Amino acid sequence: MCLFISLYNLYKNYFSSKKNTNTNENSNCTISRNNDSRTNSPKGCYFVNESKIEEKWYHNLKYLFIGIAFGIVFVKAEIISWFRI
C-alpha cells in the first residue's frame, strides 16, 4: 500500500513538473520517434510536448487491473507452483 501511495505521489509530481516545462518550452520542438499509436502526427516523428502529457495517473490503473487478472491466472493455473515449474 505504501508503495502504491508513493507511486501516486511520484506520478502527481511528474505531471505537475511536466506541465511547467510544457509552458516554458513550447517553442522547443524536439522530434523523436513515434511509438504511440494514439497521436495523430505522421508515423516516425512527433512533438514531444504535445503527446502523452494529457494522460493522468489513473490511466495507469487499467494496467493494474490487467495485472490483477494476470496474477490470479498465474496462481489459479499453478503456473508459479514449485511442483509444476
Partner 1 sequence: MIDFITQPWSWYVAGILVGLTVPTLLLIGNKSFGISSSLRHVCAMCVPAKIPFFQYEWKKEIWNLFFVVGILLGGVIAANFLSNPNDIQIAESLKTDLAGYGITNYSNLVPLDIMNWESLFTLKGLLLMVVGGFLVGFGTRYAGGCTSGHAIMGLSTLQLPSLIATCCFMIGGFIMANLILPLILNL
CB of 85 to partner 1, least distance (A): 8
Q: Which is nearer to partner 1, 29 or 66 (CB)?
A: 66
Residues contacting residue 16 through CB under 8 Å, at least 6 positions apart? none
Residues contacting residue 48 through CB under 8 Å, at least 6 positions apart? 29, 30, 32
How far is C-alpha 81 from the geometric centre of its chain's CA atoms? 30
C-alpha cell read off for 4: 502504491
Q: Which is nearer to partner 1, 29 or 79 (CB)?
A: 79
Footprint of partner 1 on this chain (CB under 8 A)?
3-4, 7, 10-11, 14, 35-38, 52, 59-83, 85
CB of 2 to partner 1, least distance (A): 11
